[in-house]
Structure 1
Amino acid sequence: MLKAFFKDSAIYTLPSLVSRGLSFFLFPLYTQVLSPTDYGAFDILVVFGNLITLTVALEISQGVARYYTEEQDPDKKIVYASTSFWFSLVCYFLFMVFSLIFSTTLTGWLLDDKSWSGIFQLYTLHIFLYGLFCLIQNQFRWEFRSKTYALISIIVTLTTAGVSVYLAYFLKWGIHGILYGLISGSFVGCVYGLWNLRSTYQLKFDSSYLKKMITFSAPLIPSSIAVFMSLYIDRLMINHYLSLEEVGIYGIGYRLASIVGLLMIGFKGALTPLIYNNYNKKNTPKDLAVIFRYFSAAALMIFLGLSIFSKEILTIITTPAYIPASQVVIYLIPAVFFSNMYVFAPGITITKKTHFLIYINMGGALVNFLLNLVLIPRYGISGAAIATFIGYGFVFGVHMIISQKLYFVPHKWKQLVLAIGVFGLIAGFGLTMDSDYRFNFLIKLGILIMTIPLVVLLKLILKKEVVQVYVFVKHRFFSK
C-alpha cells in the first residue's frame, strides 16, 4: 500500500503543482482587474456554486467511490458509473434551467444587488459544467487511472488560465473574462473526460443501483450542507457585518492559504481508493499511521513558510488594497488542512456509518457560526479566520475520535501535538517582525531553514528513514 500510495500521490500532485503555480500567476490578474468589491462578489458566487456542487446531485460520487471500487464484475461497474452520470446530468440541467429563470431574484438574494444578474447567469453555466466535470474526473480515481486524472486536470487548468488571462487582461473584459475562462475549462474537461470514459459511461441506467448509491450518500447531504456552512459562513457573515470589500480581502487571504491544498490533493487522490481496497489487510493501519506522520511533517513546514512570508508574498503578487489579507493567513492555513484531513480518519466510511458525519459536521457548523457571530464584530476578518480555524479543528478532532473507535490506527498523538505547538509558536514569532523588510526577510528565511531538523527531532520523520532515503538516492543517482 505504501509503495502504491507514493507512486499515485506523486502523479496526483503533478496537476496540483501546475494548478497552484497558475494560482500564483493569476493572483496579480485578479487583483489588477478586480477591485476588492468585485472580488468579494465573485467569492460569494463561488460560495453558491460550491453549495450546488455538494448537494444537487445528492453526493452520488461518494456512492460510486464506495461501491464501484469493490465491485468485481466489469458489467456491474459500468452500470454503477453510467447510472451516476445520467442522474447527475439531469440534476445539474434542472438546476441550470431553474437558476436562469429566477436569476434576478437569486442575484438579489445573494449579493443584495440585482445588477449582477448577468454575471450570475454566466456562473450558473459554469456550475452546470463544473459539476459534471467533477463527477467525470473522480471516475478516473475510482478506476485507478491516476495519469489520466493528472492529464485532464492540467488541461482544464491551462485552458481556464489561458482564456481568463486573454479575455480579462488583454481584452479588458474583467470579471466576464474570468467567468468565460472558467466555463471554457470546465467544458474542455467534460469533453476530454467523456471521450476517455466512453467505455465506462454507456446508455445504461438501473434504479436499484441508483437507490443503493444514494442510500450510502444520502446521509452525506445534510453533512455536506454543514460542511458548506463551516467552509463559507465566514464570508457570508463578513458580508453581513462588514462589506463586500472586506469579503474580497478575506477571500484573497483564503486563496493564498488554500495553496496548501497542493499537499492534500496528492494525499487525498491516492489514499482514498487505496484505503477502500486495502482496509481489511493487516498492515494497512500501520501504513496509514506512517503516511499521516509524513503528512504532518510536510504540512507543518508548509504552514510555517507560508505564514511568516504571507505579507511579503502578498506585497509581490497583489496590489496594496489586498495587503491586509496577510493577517488571516496564519489561521486559515491550518483551517484548510483540517478541512481536508478527514481522509486520515476512514473508520466512518469503511464501516458505512455515514450518519455520524451529519452530527459531526452540523456540530462543527454550529461552533463556526457561533464563533463568527462573536468574533467578527470584535476583530473583523481576523475574527472570522480564528472562528474558521477552531471550527475545522473541532470537526477533525471529533471525526478522528469516532474513526479510531471504528477502525483503529496507531497514531503517535503526543509527538504530533508537541510538534504542532512548537511550529505554531515559531510562526507566531515570525509574524511579529515588521521593521526593516530586507533584514526581516533574511531572519525569517534563517528561521525556516533552521526548523527543518525539527521534523526529525520531534520524530515526525525517523532518523532511520532519513538514512534509508539517503542510501536510496546515493545508490540510484550517484553510484557508478
Structure 2
Amino acid sequence: MNTRRLTGEAAVYTFGIVLDTLAPFLVLPILGRYLTPGQFGLADVITATAGLTYFAVGFNLDQALTRYYYDEEDAHRRRLVTTHLAIVSVSGTVFLVLGVMGLHAFRDGLQDLPAWHWALLSVPLMVMSDQAATLFRLQHQPFKQLGLLSVRAFAWVLFTFFFLVWWRAGISSIFIGRVAGAVFGLGASGYALRSLYALRGSLRFAIRALRFSLPTLPAAFASWGLVNAARYFLVIGASAEETGYYGVGVRLTYIVSTIGIGVVMAWGPFFMGIKQEPDAREIQARGLLYFIAANVVCIVPLLMFAREAVLLLMGSQYLPAIRLVGPMLAATLFSNLSLFLFVQISVSERTHWQSVSYAIGLVVMVIANVLLVPAMKGMGAAIAMLCGHLATAGTMWFAGQTVYTVPVSVTRVGILIVVLTGCLVSAPAMTTWFGTTFQGISVRALLTVLLWSACLAAVGPRDVVRFARTMVGKRT
C-alpha cells in the first residue's frame, strides 16, 4: 500500500472536486440577490430534470471504466477508452433528440423554455467532460484532471455571472455557464486526451461495459430520486419558495459530499489494485472508519454555523433554509457512505446490489415525502431525504458484508454516530440560545473543537499518528 501516493492523489482529486463545486458557490451570492426563492426553486427543478437525463446518458460508465481499465494491457486500454466514448456519444445524441421533442410537446406547460433547452444541451457535454476527468484519474495524472476541472469551473462562473448580471438572462444563465464550462474544459484538455484514444473501439469492450453498467442504471435513477425527487413533491405539495429553501440546504451539503467523492475517486482505483493482497480486507475496514470520521468532522462546523453560512451565501431572504441543514447533512453522510461501500461490492462484481440498495432507499424516501411534506413542507422533505439515504446505506452495508466481509469496529463507528447525533440535536439550540454574538460564536467554536476531539478518540489517536507518519514518507 503506497499510502503517500494515495494521500497525494486524493488531496489533488479532492482539491479539483472542491474547485469544481466551488464554482456554483461563487455565484450563489449573486443568484441570491438576482433570483427570488421561487425562481431559485424553479432553477432547481430544471437542474433535477437535467440530472435525470445525465444519469441516463452516463450509464454509470465511469464505474465500468474504473473496474476494467487495469485488467487490460496498455495496448488495449486506448480501444477500451474509445469504446466508452462512443457509447456516451451515441446515448447522448439519442437523449438530446428525445429531450428536444419532449420539451416542444409540453412547451405550453413549462416555465422559462429557453432554460430547459440550455439545461438539456449541457447534459452530454458534462458527461463527456466528466469521462475525460475520470480518464486522467485512471492514468494517475491528477494535475491534468485538476486543469480540466479548473477551466470548467472558471468558465462556468464567468459566463453565469455575465449572462445573469449584464444580459439579464435569468435562470438560463446558470445553464449557459454549464455549457460553456464543459466546452472550454474539453477544449483545454484536448491535446492531452488525444494520445489516450484509439482510432476505433471494440465490440467486446462495449458488450462488457453495458453488461456491467446496465444493472447499475436503476441505481443511478434511484440515486437521482433520493436527492431530487423531493423538489417535485415540494413544488406540488408546498410551493416554489420551499423548493428554493430546500435547494439552499442541498448546496450546503455539497461541501461534505465533495470531500467524500474526492476520497472515493482515489480509493476506488487504489483498492482495485490491491484487492488480491492478504490484508486488503483490513485496509478497507480502516479506510471505512477514517472515511466516516472525516465526514463527521466536516459536518460538525457546518451544523454549528449554518446561519452564518446561509447569510454569507444567499442573503437574509433565504434564512428559512437553516432549519433544513441538520437532517440534510446527516443524509449526506449516509450518501457518501453508500459510495464508499460500493467499492467493496465492486470487488465481487455483484453490482446489482447497488440497484437494490438505492431502490429500497428511494421507496422509503417517497413514502416519507408523501407522509411528511404536506404537513412539514421543507423539513418533511429533508427528513425524508435522511430516511432514504439511511435505508440505502444500511442495505449497502448488509450487501457488502455478505459478498466481501471486512472487520469493522462497531464500537468505534457507534461513537462517531453518537457524536453526529449529539451535534444534530444541539446545534439548532446553540444558535437560538447564544445567537450571533461574540460569546455565542465562541461557545459554538469550543463545542466544535470538543466534538472533533471525540472523533479523534473514536478512530484512535495512535492510529492517526501512525497513519500520518506513513503519509510523510513510509510505505506499508
Q: Same fold (TM over 0.5)?
A: yes
Percent of aligned positions that are identical = 21
Deviation at 1:91, TM superposition (A): 1.4
Between the aligned partners of 2:7 and 2:37, the Cα distance in structure 1 is 40
Is it true that 1:123 corresponds to 2:143 in the alignment? no
| Aligned partner (choices 181, 188, 192) of residue 185 of structure 1 | 181
1:83 maps to 83
Query: Which has the larger displacement, 262-271 or 97-106?
Result: 97-106
Conservation of the 8 A alpha-carbon contact between 1:5 and 1:274: yes
TM-score, normalised to structure 2, is 0.93
Change (3 A) 1:160 1:446: same
Paired positions, count? 469
2:49 maps to 48
| Aligned partner (choices 404, 409, 418) of residue 401 of structure 2 | 404
* SS of corresponding position for 2:296: helix
Query: Which has the larger displacement, 142-151 or 78-87?
Result: 142-151
1:154 maps to 150
Instruction: Tell me the alpha carbon deviations over residues 110-150 of structure 1, each in whole angstroms, 9 at most, x when there is no partner.
Output: xxx43421111111111121122122221222222222112
CA RMSD of aligned residues (A): 2.2
Between the aligned partners of 2:122 and 2:48, the Cα distance in structure 1 is 13
2:16 maps to 15
Deviation at 1:238, TM superposition (A): 1.0
Between the aligned partners of 1:271 and 1:4, the Cα distance in structure 2 is 11
| Aligned partner (choices 159, 164, 171) of residue 168 of structure 1 | 164
Between the aligned partners of 1:465 and 1:336, the Cα distance in structure 2 is 24
Is it true that 1:454 corresponds to 2:450 in the alignment? no
Amino acid at match of 2:193: L
Amino acid at match of 2:15: L
Amino acid at match of 1:32: R
Is it true that 1:302 corresponds to 2:301 in the alignment? no
Amino acid at match of 1:88: V
2:195 maps to 199
Conservation of the 8 A alpha-carbon contact between 1:297 and 1:461: no
Conservation of the 8 A alpha-carbon contact between 2:292 and 2:337: no
Between the aligned partners of 1:213 and 1:69, the Cα distance in structure 2 is 14
Between the aligned partners of 1:122 and 1:453, the Cα distance in structure 2 is 47
Deviation at 1:442, TM superposition (A): 2.1
Deviation at 1:271, TM superposition (A): 0.5
Deviation at 1:470, TM superposition (A): 8.2
Between the aligned partners of 1:83 and 1:461, the Cα distance in structure 2 is 45
Is it true that 1:466 corresponds to 2:462 in the alignment? no
Change (3 A) 1:284 1:471: closer
Between the aligned partners of 1:92 and 1:239, the Cα distance in structure 2 is 28
Between the aligned partners of 1:146 and 1:291, the Cα distance in structure 2 is 21
Between the aligned partners of 2:328 and 2:120, the Cα distance in structure 1 is 28
Is it true that 1:65 corresponds to 2:66 in the alignment? yes
Conservation of the 8 A alpha-carbon contact between 1:136 and 1:194: no
Between the aligned partners of 1:32 and 1:107, the Cα distance in structure 2 is 28
TM-score, normalised to structure 1, is 0.92
Between the aligned partners of 1:27 and 1:274, the Cα distance in structure 2 is 35
Conservation of the 8 A alpha-carbon contact between 1:83 and 1:209: yes
1:367 maps to 364
Change (3 A) 1:441 1:107: farther
Deviation at 1:467, TM superposition (A): 7.2
Between the aligned partners of 1:342 and 1:83, the Cα distance in structure 2 is 28
1:350 maps to 347
Is it true that 1:104 corresponds to 2:114 in the alignment? no
2:231 maps to 235
Between the aligned partners of 1:124 and 1:92, the Cα distance in structure 2 is 10
1:92 maps to 92
Amino acid at match of 1:289: A
| Aligned partner (choices 131, 134, 137) of residue 135 of structure 1 | 131
| Aligned partner (choices 415, 418, 424) of residue 421 of structure 1 | 418
Between the aligned partners of 1:99 and 1:452, the Cα distance in structure 2 is 47
Amino acid at match of 1:46: T
Deviation at 1:200, TM superposition (A): 1.8
